[in-house]
Structure 1
Amino acid sequence: MAHQDMLSILQDLAGKRKKDDLGLIIATCWAIWYARNRVVNEGKQEDPQMTAAGAAATVESYLRIKCPNVQVVPSQHNNNQQVWNPPPIGWYKVNVDAAIQMADSKAGLGVVVRDSSGKILAAAVQSTGFRGDVACMEAEAVLFGIQVACQAKCNPIIIESDSLEVVELSLQRKSSMAEICWAVEEIQACLKNQSRASIQFVPRNCNVAAHSLAKVALDFESPVVWLEDFPVQIILLLSKFV
């Protein structure tokens, strides 16, 4: 294949590899090209392991998409907000965040669900592999938060994230060709399936409960969801934000 162009190589592989293998090969080629452009245009060198992880994440996210090109309920955000504010009566706020542990290529996801009185109804943590992009992990935290809210039977919901990029992508205020677009389309699809749901940006100081849980999540091997029956460790952590 040394003297073939890329299209010929892929056509040749299509007859020799399974469809899933070919998809990963194409995603890896794209990830390498994307990493190369970052070096040339931005002077940013990416760890090859992160490039490979990004390719795998792109394929995984794409395979999860079932309802592309959907709309999401728009919401306004206030950049001057200083403290967490409860949702309107009858609504639930789902605060989400991600914490990154670069040394171990790990990410922790944290979720807190509260009602209009500020009562914590659910909390959740999940540890996962870091896929090379912080915004991608913030998007995964949003998806995890929606799952937790559904499990807790909390509806309607307002998702709060301190990732302005993820929020603006979800609200279609900006676009991206990076691998995060697959996770964002899944967020839009999930919110579309809710009877009433929105997503909005909040500053980090209004999202400290979720961020604290995200850091705790790094020590967990598997996802855990607590529905009011919280262990002492989590009670002590969350009591700081009640």
Structure 2
Amino acid sequence: MKLPSLHPISWASDLLMDGLCNDKERGIFIIGMYALWMLRNQRRHGDNHKLVSAAVRWSLDTAIDLWNLNKPMNSVKERNNVQQWHAPPAGWFKCNTDGAFYPDQGQGPSGVALRNDSGLFAGGQARWYPQGLDALTLEALACRDGAVLARD
């Protein structure tokens, strides 16, 4: 969205006036100003690693979340069916994997469990990764670990 032409002294209060922009745009502008102000303060106090693009993304995500809070919630239908583990076809094995990520440490584990067509445990593995990028990477590593264990 384009920022309208604003007076250099009163621009912040001008954004709050009716007729200049709608409520959604006004919210995005205000949240964006807050994010940039926080980024400025962080840089001023020695924290230089955050990008302006990250502040802009945070602003848009926050504005959309706040805007959606005003919308009526759809009723959630209760499920009567309980999900269960199902055994694989005869002669097959099922491989379940999971990964976890600890962002404060930048590391995490993967876990693998193999079960036969009777549902009996046939093998498993847990592995710690001291270097991880994010949760998605650890999930992918867990899938790879599962494929390797199933192959072996």
TM-score (normalizing by structure 2) = 0.46
Greater Rg over alpha carbons, structure: 2
Which of the pair has the greater relative contact order for Cα pairs under 8 Å at 6+ separation? Answer: 1
TM-score (normalizing by structure 1) = 0.31
**Of Structure 1 and Structure 2, which has the larger fraction of its residues in helix?**
1
